[in-house]
A and B are shown apart, each in its own frame.
Chain A
């Protein structure tokens, strides 16, 4: 397990985006070999998406041969509703880049048969050869996707009833009207994410500090579902200073001491542009 600590949210977002860029570039995806990417929603990854869009616009990165799988979606919320995850992904990422719509996988919360939709999502992941890099954010209670405290750590994609806390917290997105907040969601399971070849969790802000502590300094617990990734062979946590407030000084010092190693991971690779130039020469 790696923990990368950056000074600010902005730095953490940039670092995460560079890491994703490098992973895609070094994978060298093509028509016969797609890079499969798991994607989160929420406020945390916004900065990373912005950076990735910049890389695309600067010609350094293409998503033409990337397949994406999103973590979750509300049940019964119209697809184009301002709070749907379809809207989030469209507005904050997909419409800005060169991804091919066919390669985008997002759970349909309006499917007639929700169970079949979830099963087919797992099938689609399998058909794509599994997920190369799953990016996640977490809630203050340490939940990943809609795998709220108490969720099974071996769960797969399924229909979940949301915790009352989550429904109440979400009311602010629905003009404070709790009756309008969706009460169910489709979500990937903890196991779905565990099965990815690599997991990257972005945790920023003081309000997530306790969750980060639970995620890495305490044992694996289904009450803090994100802690499951301690047992993943390749997990990288990306945090800002604020999120480390509940960690031991020793832990922070140890991981900060490794930053010179970690920073090598985000050094510029041969960008798409440079490759193009080489081809032309």
Chain B
């Protein structure tokens, strides 16, 4: 009996009865994987004389690459921006939870925090590769504190540095610290703040993706940031000036003709069914489909069951939709109708977006 170990030390998996995206079409085709890499099955068969050790029946589902959530503030009761004692435990539990929803990597998002807090949190959120124990951490998304206090959303005014960067890039370094900086991959800032352009440029040179958001910027200020290297918009429509036809603000970047050649602008959008109206989702999608990035922007209540929960000195209520009493849908401050952040997991956002935008399974 020929042994398969003659061709490989590690197991070869064959996913079958599944659909794969190939050449802009969903085709029914099997997928072979060895050591996390996709194999050319013909080479395996004809040259290596190898075959699958394990066949996995996908029951006719789509086999897609893992989802990436570039903006997630916490979950399962943990908040990345407040509880540094339980941070590591929270990160690993959330990583595991995300994996069960098809999210294979994420950017833990740290919102505007007290200056003393940054050196305690940022160095602890290390990049991880991810594996069966949980989704990988791509790096931190530092959202603030260099944002506009008038568009602070849920960020505390006391933590926001409205003065911007009078001392240039050093100001950013002072807040995030050198150790902390190493773990940051995305930084959300308001481009209208003093010296923002210089800082955008410096960060871009250090391979940090700069995202514009929580901002009162007009279009030309936003374009200036893009010219200096910014490539992303933080939760489009939320915490920015509303679209105005004489100055469309940051939203105008979607159709701007000032984007440097070869550069592409992407935008995060919360498609949890609550934070962005379906019509607004469609406007963004139709204006600039290639730049669309679904994000959850989920808070600590994500992954908690329907009901009331104590989260950072607040009693919040996770509610469901009527026809699905067990599925968390939105979070409000208990006893009120005030939304306190998203509890939609990214896979639910994908489903909602597909429904709301009317896009095909293949093409967003």
Contacts and interface: CB of A to CB of B under 8 A. Distances in A.
A102 interface: yes
Contacts of B30: 95
A257 B243 CA distance: 82
Interface of A: 31, 79-80, 86-87, 90, 94-95, 98, 100-104
Interface in B37-85: 41-42, 44-46, 48-51
A86 B43 CA distance: 11
A101 B50 contact: yes
B337 to A, nearest CB: 53
Contacts of A87: 42
A31 B46 contact: no
B2 A100 contact: yes
Given A31-B1, A95-B30, A95-B41, A102 B46 contact: no
Contacts, number: 30
Given A31-B1, A95-B30, A102 B45 contact: no
Contact of B45 (A31, A90, A98): A90
A103 B44 CA distance: 14
Chain B contact-residue range equals 10 to 19
Given A31-B1, A100-B2, A95 B45 contact: yes
Nearest to B6: A102
Contacts of A102: 2, 49
Given A90-B42, A94-B45, A101-B46, 14 more contacts: A31-B1, A79-B42, A86-B42, A87-B42, A90-B41, A90-B46, A95-B30, A95-B45, A100-B49, A100-B51, A101-B49, A101-B51, A103-B2, A104-B45
Given A95-B41, A100-B51, A101-B51, A79 B46 contact: yes
25 contacts: A31-B1, A79-B42, A80-B42, A86-B42, A86-B46, A87-B42, A90-B42, A90-B45, A94-B45, A95-B30, A95-B45, A98-B51, A100-B2, A100-B49, A100-B51, A101-B44, A101-B45, A101-B46, A101-B48, A101-B49, A101-B50, A102-B2, A102-B49, A103-B2, A104-B45
Nearest to B7: A101
A31 B3 CA distance: 13
- The listed residue with most A CB atoms (<10 A of its CB), out of B2, B42, B48, is B42
Contacts of A101: 44-46, 48-51
A90 B2 CA distance: 20
Contacts of A86: 42, 46
Contacts of A90: 41-42, 45-46
A80 B41 CA distance: 11
Interface in B9-56: 30, 41-42, 44-46, 48-51
Contacts of B46: 79, 86, 90, 101
